[in-house]
Structure 1
Amino acid sequence: MSATTTSPLAGDAASLIIRALLDFRSLWTTHDLVTTTGVPAQTIRRVVNRLEREELVERQAPGVIAVPSWLTLLRRWNEEVRFSRDVRVTYWRSKHGAQPLLDRVAATPVRHAVSGAHAARVWVPETPAGPTVIYTPDARAAATVWELVPARGRAIILAEPSGDVVYTRSRKTDSGIRLAAPAQVLADLLTGAASAGAAEPLTHWMLEHELEWRY
């Protein structure tokens, strides 16, 4: 994902680092973050130093950090990277309906990660309904394979990210659909992937079931 600011917490590299800090319950060294994210050590040190100044990470020992509050970190990340601002989106409708679309997505080799309300409802069924949000590298190519047609309504949103962050640690459902990781889904819900309030049920679930989604 891209961002329009020059903040050290904006951009793909910073997002890879922050997603790792969100996705894992861990004590981290720079070496660990390099291994997990593939981001150069110099960049990791710069991002971590900024996070430490903002009290979003804390030192546990020399060279070792931890995240005191994953939700605070996620909300800070939302200030830099927002679904409604930093992702290219196009709107579509299915010739066959929502569930046949998802069945078709699962049956094709097109790279994807489902986010938004549909993904959240896998973990929290009471999540308010919202548009079907699917990350994919090339929306037009995917729409052809998935038999979608352009639409003015927002029932189906195809989102083209600038990098691979949104596909990182995706979850595969029994039906074969790839879901964006919970932290990514929540970040998207909080920044425009669904109507106001759609993020609240998932937020509560993630706070109460941290061991189920953080490695």
Structure 2
Amino acid sequence: MKLYNLALSNFASKSRVAIYEKGLDIELVDPPGGLGSAEYKKVNPLGKVPALDIGGQLIAESEVINEYLEDKFPEKPLLPKDPEGKARVRSFTRHHDLYLEPPIRALFGQMSPKTRDAKVVEEKLADVTTRLDQVEAMLAPNGPWATGNMFTLADAALTPTLFFAVNLLPAFGAKSPLEGRPKLTAWWGRVQERPSTKKVLGEQAAAMAAMQRRG
């Protein structure tokens, strides 16, 4: 198996968390020709990462990949056994993919002060604030992980995107996403120490530093 991947991509990072957590031997490769290139679209018509190649069959979209890995390699589960527990995790990952991640991604495109649209920034910051408040409300009251005692696909989804929130929001003059959110603050401290998420966060940080050096 090989995963088409970019270290800074939060969706590819989401799948890497699952891979590292399960201890899987999956090759990580850059998309040939670059993201969205004609060459890569011959492999993955969407032109996005991540995409998982399993002997010539391609699986796209991080959540589908992670669910496949969960079914294929259940020995170290990232979903609870009970239907209610599964639903809690999937509600969390759905909220991440549809509501939390998009406005943060939009802010990433506003990083340059020369091309920044102040109205877009204001709107997206307000949206991010709302979504982070929702995450705070959704987090398990006593942790230690997003939905309770078990580290799950919900934690895999939230970790890479919160990396962007922590690093991007202050650049726009916004307060830290952790401020006033005690459950999120405690959770963030734990994921920075867990081996799988610590490794992914380090990969993201190195990729962001390299991007900033390139200007």
- TM-score, length basis structure 2: 0.29
Q: Which has the higher strand share?
A: 1
Q: Which has the higher helix share?
A: 2
